[in-house]
Amino acid sequence: MFFDVSIDMRVDDHAFALEFTSDAKLTALVGPSGVGKTSTLNAIAGLLRPQSGRIAVAGEVLFDSAQGVDLPPEKRGAGYVFQDARLFPHRKVSSNLAYGEKLAAPDKRWITTDEVVSLLEIGHLLDRLPVTLSGGEARRVAIGRALLSAPRFLLLDEPLASLDESRAETLLSLIERLRDELDLPMLLVSHSSAEVERLAGRVIEMTPQKPA
């Protein structure tokens, strides 16, 4: 099983429960905004702690409140591509890319900077600072940064949001290539059904829940 998630979440005033398993290479999490899709990604990445439950990805338990397991984010092996890219503003693109790579154990790395640069076509951006990038460029760099950190799985938060049609199409086919060429479970958050139909092997619908 790639993703095995069963959690009770409380974020500020909002509470929800979510339970799903998936062994598709790419699983999509869909639902209206505010339903808790991003919070779910944060919980899987270890940036938010669920009230209770269990999270396992590709056979490794990342969180289990019953067993007292709660791995810190840096031990989870998540390649998290944030919706706002979240590049480090004081580092050039090349240094953003290198950030996670340097921290990964050499024997865990499975892709090189050169491969990432040519796959994402970001060679001309390496010397630039993140402020100077367009939304699509920043997102490509963010994907590269995540891939280079030697992740065991990818989390993609609205990877195509706020991109014009041609750029969205480029990124969409890129995600298809990642899905088909890499041995890497992916969980994608989206509100676009077209995107989801084309990419996902399995779709998880999240619906608003009344507080218990």
Q: Which residues bind another protein (CB under 8 A)?
A: 42, 45-47, 72-74, 76, 78-80, 82, 84-90, 99-100, 103-104, 130-131, 145-146, 149-150
Q: Could you tell me which residues come within 8 angstroms of residue 208 by beta carbon, excluding any fewer than 6 positions away?
A: 31, 32, 34, 35
Residue closer to another protein (CB basis): 85 or 125: 85
Q: Could you tell me which residues come within 8 angstroms of residue 153 by beta carbon, excluding any fewer than 6 positions away?
A: 2, 3, 57, 58, 77, 78, 79, 184, 185, 186, 187
Residue closer to another protein (CB basis): 35 or 87: 87
Q: How far is the CB of 121 from another protein (least distance, A)?
A: 22
Q: How far is the CB of 210 from another protein (least distance, A)?
A: 29
As a residue count, the chain comes to 212
Residue closer to another protein (CB basis): 84 or 197: 84
Q: How far is the CB of 197 from another protein (least distance, A)?
A: 28
Residue 67 in 3-state DSSP? coil
Q: Are 80 and 116 in contact (CB under 8 A)?
A: no
Residue closer to another protein (CB basis): 46 or 172: 46
- Say how far apart CA 13 and CA 147 lie, in whole Å: 34
Q: How far is the CB of 209 from another protein (least distance, A)?
A: 25
